Chains A and B, each alone.
Chain A
Amino acid sequence: MKILVGIKRVVDYNVRVRVLPDGSGVDIDGVKMSINPFDEIALEEALRIKEAGKAAEVIVISCGTDECQQQLRTALAMGADRAIQVKTGSALQPLSTAQALLRVIEREQPGLVILGKQAIDDDNSQTGQMLAALWNRPQATFASKLVFEGEKLTVTREVDAGLETIEVDLPAVVTVDLRLNEPRFVKLPDIMKAKRKPLDVIPLEELGASLASNLDITRYAAPPLRQKGIRVENAAQLVQELKNRGLL
């Protein structure tokens, strides 16, 4: 079985992004870029499945400019066998990404596709579900545990009411939540080795994904600030303050 893992290049988790003064976007000039943290968890899970002897190959895929090859190389250093860059100059919205992934799935025939549950830049949380819809296959979103039984996969999902368990037939799309695993660190020799692993580039146009339904972002703004609060010295003052405000 092949596993396909989606990788998105995003502003690093630790960077606090700022909106440009003219409202045209966020300032990402010179900031550190990384693999979307949820995608890193997706890749870690794929590698563990392979290491457990349940998969033969782990392929990582990213849609973007040549810069996303940095993240694909990191993914190869983590242990992926090969990488695919879907080359495009425009920022893809989820439906276009799902269409591009589907075309690659038709070529590669993976038994499992694992993606992060959302990207920490646009916070859309759509691509995996959309891919499952277009592919007409099961989706198991927000996964915190995967158990294989033959051609079936039992997935524990983190839902608002607790932990839900569903069973899906393969092939399927899984999107992963935080608690599924802790991704490994990349070792230096593996970074050297990763340079020799295959990285194929496919132009987006060749895949026929459409940008027609793109939504138009008309304005970026900084979030409204909360009014500055007060400090109290002790529990008695705190309780009094809450009573004064009608909250107790």
Chain B
Amino acid sequence: MSKILIVAEHDGHTLNLSTAKCVSCAKAIGGDIDIAVLGQGHDAVGAQAAALAGVSRVLMISAAHLAHPLAANWAPEVLQLAANYTHVIGPSTTMGKDLMPRVAALVGVNQFSDVMEVLSPLSFRRPIYAGNAIIDVKAAEGQKIVMTVRTASWPATGSGGNAVVEQRTAQGTAAGHSRYLALNSAGSERPDLQGASKVVSGGRALGSAEGFALIYRLADKLGAGVGASRAAVDAGYVPSDMQVGQTGKIIAPDLYLAFGISGAIQHITGIKDSRTIVAVNKDAEAPIFEIADIGLVGDLFTVIPEIEALLG
């Protein structure tokens, strides 16, 4: 039977939703599921992890050098734990993408990146070429599996669990050559882009940072998260952490509303798992209409106020 370790993602206070998605992937593999929560003074996160349904144990490791997820400090710690597991899993977020390959190299294996489906405990499905091809990849029998989980492909496991929380001592010390300095977060009151059930996104057609206010207003009316195309980010209308697409965030909300986004392949890659995609664009030939469930050819500057008025 598989013994699975998930490396939790959190900000010191709150468990990131991606961890609950990793649990769903772990359940598809089947076996005993533990979660490692590295950090410092982060007991609240441990309690949240213990509440996820299907988790056996939560391993809390607290140390000053683990306060921030510096891969150089976290990877040796995860390596120590990995000895007792067949699978070590992290989310395919920037945190997991940074950490897990470092763990894999220390283990001495190649990593399965962006796992979207489990075929067997040794075989997994993942996208390549920006999602233009899907491959099945298999590890040799007896090889330890290190993987990142493509969060948009998995539902979040619910709560109701009651895992045992164990305090563990950090085995390693600070790498010494890497130091965390700061995080500049746009700090929005809006729902997190990756967890939001509805997302409103804008493209270059908004024309300016001021024009983007239209998108924010509609999003607030819908209780939606706000995203943007790479073109809108590059034009400086919004910060880069709002970028949706292959090189930004890959999301899968229930409802995705794209305004003035043409639908470059790299953007499509980031949204195509959304349950319903709505596209509003002046250009009837825009590629976004090829994947939209509901398309409306029109000028967003008139359509958005009309929608707002209809929502009351």
Which residues of A line the B interface, CB within 8 A?
Answer: 11, 16-19, 26, 93-95, 98, 120-134, 137-139, 141-142, 144, 154, 157-169, 172, 177-179, 213-223, 226-227, 229-239, 241-242, 245, 247-248
Contact = CB atoms under 8 A, between A and B. Distances in A.
Interface residues of B, number: 87
Contacts of B101: 94, 125-130, 133
Interface of B: 11, 70-72, 75, 93-95, 97-106, 108-114, 123, 127-140, 143, 175-187, 194, 198, 222, 230, 234, 239-241, 246-247, 249, 254-255, 265, 272, 276-278, 280, 289, 291-298, 303, 306-307, 310-311
Chain A interface helix/strand/loop/mixed: mixed
13 contacts: A124-B113, A141-B97, A142-B94, A160-B95, A163-B184, A167-B178, A214-B110, A218-B138, A231-B289, A231-B295, A234-B296, A235-B310, A247-B276
| Most chain B Cβ neighbours within 10 Å, of A16, A123, A177, A239 | A123
Contacts of A169: 176-178
Given A166-B70, A166-B178, A217-B136, A133 B106 contact: yes
Contact of A218 (B70, B123, B291, B296): B123
A95 B98 contact: no
Given A16-B265, A234-B298, A215 B292 contact: no
Contacts of A231: 289, 294-297
Chain B interface helix/strand/loop/mixed: mixed
Given A231-B297, A242-B255, A167 B181 contact: yes
Given A94-B111, A172-B177, A236-B310, A158 B240 contact: yes
Nearest 7 Cβ contacts at the A-B interface:
A235-B306, A129-B101, A130-B105, A133-B105, A162-B185, A126-B101, A229-B293
Given A133-B105, A162-B184, A239 B307 contact: yes
Contacts of B130: 120, 123
A216 B137 CA distance: 5
A129 B105 CA distance: 8
Contacts of A142: 94, 97-98
B29 to A, nearest CB: 16
B134 A239 contact: no
